[in-house]
Amino acid sequence: MLRETPNLKHRAILATIYGLGLRKSELSGLLLGDVETERGQVRIRMAKGNKDRMLRLPPSPAKLRVSYRAAYQPQYWLFERQSGEKYSNSSVQAILRRAVRVSEVNPFCTVHTLRHSYATHLLEAGTSLRHIQVLLGHASSPTTEIYTHVSTFEK
């Protein structure tokens, strides 16, 4: 799906959602200062439940992040509209819908599907449910345990 997304900013948005397991609102609320490249961390502020959390910045889309920031030079928000405003949740969803249509992946895919995929792939790679719970910002473990039903991984 990312390869089929020609717009650099849109590709960076989708890669960030998947690479960090973000909700739409968390992506939209990212400030430039929330990404601490030197420390390899991203701060998620006031997420669901009004909690902050720190995430590890994934190394894989590093070139994409550098290319995006050089091309668009955001001033305040990590992902800004041409007007300088942050992206709305509906705009982020529209970006994904366009990418789904062009790439012909599952037509029922949503932004939250990327978050589920992130968690499922972590689980399949052997990450503990407790660690995934912290990364996703879930208050209770039963919420995270949903991913055990999705995963095809068996120990």
The rounded distance, in Å, linking the Cα atoms of 1 and 140 is: 31
Cβ proximity of 10 and 101 under 8 Å: no
Give the catalytic positions in this structure. 23, 48, 112, 115, 138, 147
Burial class (CB in 10 A: 0-12, 13-18, 19+), 140: exposed
CB atoms within 10 A of CB 56: 12
How far CA 43 is from CA of 122, 124, 153, in Å, comes to 20, 25, 30
Assigned token pair, 2: 């990312």
Helix axes 141-150, 111-124, angle to 10 degrees: 80
